[in-house]
Structure 1
Amino acid sequence: MTDGKVAIIQNKQEASSIAKKKLVSLLQEANYTIDQNDPNIVISIGGDGTFLSAFHEFEHKLDQIRFLGVHTGHLGFYTDWRDFELEELVSNLSNKQESSISYPLLDLQVKYRDQKAPKRFLALNEATMKRATRTMVADVYIKDELFERFRGDGLSVSTPTGSTAYNKSVGGAVLHPRINAFQLAEIASLNNRVFRTLGSPIIISDSEWLTISLEESSDYMVTIDRATIQHDDIEWISFKIADERIHFASYRHMHFWRRVKDAFIGEV
């Protein structure tokens, strides 16, 4: 018997709907309760994008919830199970054959010029800052000390699990998610005799923080994972490793570097 309460978040694909119907039946047979409001396990069905949606829906209860991903398409970085393995998944849940792991999250503080207190956000993958029509100019501070003045298309700040996403596409390093750090990557920086930045990704430890001070403007585009937040006149954005962590019900967690190899290299 179990007192487990499970919420299921799915995408709109037919394969995900079929998998959800089967999963609900299996969970109920194993005496789990389907509870979309107050779960202790959240299962996403779809891909990494669906998992991100599930995370943000329940990010206010991270200390009470473990997450699990089922993929109905290509292998994802957050989805350990295939849709044809649901019986094994539920069996492992019921038999307590699992080990839980946790990964770091990004804590963002966004300060608007017309507000006294900054707004706080959490990111599982990354945050990006760009300007709509002009070169972005920003001062980059590490632990309140000016490091560089950036000019270019924008900046990306990512978690270790997010290092394989947009960060990788702009030349960032791939970090193992057990490394409690975050990363700053430049997006098309301007580097010449007049303007100069480091031009390389920066890995920042959990004991340090990063602040991006922006020129006064109302056309900034700031994304947090898959969402675009209000981009009124932003004064600065600060980043650090969050006190909260995401906890995975890692019933059969694939080795991280094997997952990277399968996703980007394939068979050698």
Structure 2
Amino acid sequence: MSDRKNVYLFYKKTDELEEKVQKARELGRKYDFNLVEDPKDANIIASFGGDGTFLQALQKTRFREDALYIGVNDGDFGFYTDFTTSDLTRLELAMQSDMDMVEVLRYPTLEVTIDGLKSFHCINEVTIRSNIIKTFVVDVYLDNLHFETFRGDGLLVSTPTGSTAYNKSLGGAVVDPKLPAMQLTEMASVNNNQYRTLGSPLVLSKGRELTLKVVQDGNDHPIIGIDNEAMGIRHSRHINVKVSDRVVKTLKMKDNLFANKLKRSFLE
């Protein structure tokens, strides 16, 4: 990180966390890092909290491609947070630019366009769900070809890193985060003589495009979530999703591999 010295800190300001962040500030000054008040002036963006805080930091700073993101968990390690407030030794190693200990990972993101007008990025998932206690119908297009007509509670499109979150709870596959791909997973689909879907998660490579068109049958005001945050968008008709060319650069420790994270989160 020797060529990156301007740091923006993103966290929820509580007395307990402020004390821990202050220690990280002091450590940063020791290695000549500069704290900035505006994320636009930063080339390092560090979040303090958990994976949820890391996702918020990405959304609030608009997925900066020219910045390096660092997640510091206020507790155990997470999928996006390779450092903790309880052990700043690991963070100090990263500040020393010891590349034998750390590496930069480039996580794929999704580009989501709603009604051809508003575009967003996400690193976990985009969901489309019924906003009332009633199933709704979505025509699913794959590369502009009608693929299936879905009826159920909703659909989720996840990134590889998002595959271990909401997607996994729906029975989706866990995908290696180094693969530039996306996964379509169903929420309580109805399969009968009228509606027929694949009935299993579908993993698609970069270059594919999904289009989800809401069928107007009286339940045409779906809830759209980006990284599990509801978007204030009403009367949406169709959503286009593809793997973006934009990646998120994150700093991780080499001793915290993808297999370590899976084992720690689901098997121990």
1: distance between equivalents of 2:3 and 2:234?
A: 48
Q: Deviations over 1:127-161 (max 9, x none)?
A: 11011122110000000001100000000000000
**Partners of 2:206 and 2:234 in 1: CA distance:** 29
Q: What residue number does 1:127 align with?
A: 126
What is the rounded CA distance, in whole Å, between the counterparts of 1:233 and 1:165 in structure 2? Answer: 27
Structure 1 position 15, deviation (Å): 4.4
Choose 51-60 or 85-94, whichever is displaced more: 85-94
- Taking every aligned residue pair, what percent have the same amino acid on both sides? 35
1:145 correspondence with 2:175: no
Q: Is residue 129–residue 222 contact of structure 1 (8 Å, CA) maintained in 2?
A: yes
Q: Distance in 2 between matches of 1:3 and 1:82?
A: 21
For the residue of structure 2 that corresponds to 1:189, the secondary structure is coil
Deviates further, 68-77 or 7-16 = 7-16
Cα deviation, residue 253, structure 1: 5.5
Partners in 2 of 1:131 and 1:32 — Cα distance? 47
User: Aligned AA for 1:32?
Assistant: F
Q: Which amino acid aligns with 2:22?
A: K
Distance in 2 of aligned mates of 1:76 and 1:182: 21
Gaps (5+ residues) in structure 1?
112-116
Amino acid at match of 2:128: M
| Segments ≥4 residues shifted beyond 4 Å | 12-15
* Conserved 8 A contact 2:50-2:72: yes
**Which deviates more, 224-233 or 39-48?**
224-233
Q: Conserved in 1, the CA contact under 8 Å of 2:4 and 2:44?
A: no
Aligned residue in 1 for 2:155: 155
Pick one of 101, 107, 114 that aligns with 1:103: 107
Is the CA contact 1:80–1:252 (under 8 Å) kept in the aligned structure 2? no
Equivalents in 2 of 1:75, 1:28: separation in Å? 24
Aligned 8 A contact 1:2 1:94 in 2: no
For residues 202-221 of structure 1, the aligned pairs below 5 Å read 202-216=202-216, 217-221=219-223
* Shift, 1:192, TM fit: 2.3
Q: How large is the Cα RMSD of the aligned pairs? A: 1.8
Kindly tell me the number of residue pairs found equivalent between the two proteins.
Answer: 260
Q: Provide the secondary structure at the position in 1 that maps to 2:23.
A: helix
* Corresponding residue for residue 36 of structure 1: 37
Corresponding residue of 2:237: 235
Distance 2:113 2:255 in 1: 32
- The answer as to whether partners of 2:108 and 2:248 remain within 8 angstroms in 1 is yes
State the partner residue of 1:114: none
CA contact (8 A) 1:70 1:82 kept: yes
How big is each residue's C-alpha offset from its partner over 1:10-64, in whole Å with a ceiling of 9 and x where there is no partner? 235554322211101111121110013211111111110000011112225x221
Cα shift at 1:259: 0.6
Find the residue that maps to 2:114 and give its secondary structure. Answer: strand
Deviations 1:212-239 (A, max 9, x none): 0112355210000132112311110010
The residue number in structure 2 matching 1:8 is: 9
Letter in 2 for 1:11: K
Which residue of the partner structure matches residue 169 of structure 2? 169
- Worse-superposed segment, 16-25 or 83-92: 83-92
Q: Secondary structure at the match of 2:156?
A: strand
Q: Distance in 1 between matches of 2:23 and 2:267?
A: 33
Deviation at 1:75, TM superposition (A): 2.6
Q: Letter of the aligned partner of 2:121 in structure 1?
A: L
1:118 is the counterpart of 2:120: no
Matching residue of 2:261: 259
Q: Which amino acid aligns with 2:77?
A: L
| 1:2–1:205 CA distance, 2 compared to 1 (3 A) | closer
Aligned to 2:191: 191
Q: Give distance in 1, aligned partners of 2:25 and 2:166.
A: 33
Q: Which consecutive unaligned segments of at least 5 residues does structure 2 have?
A: none
Question: Quick one: which amino acid aligns to residue 234 of structure 2?
Answer: D
CA distance in 1, matches of 2:37, 2:151: 45
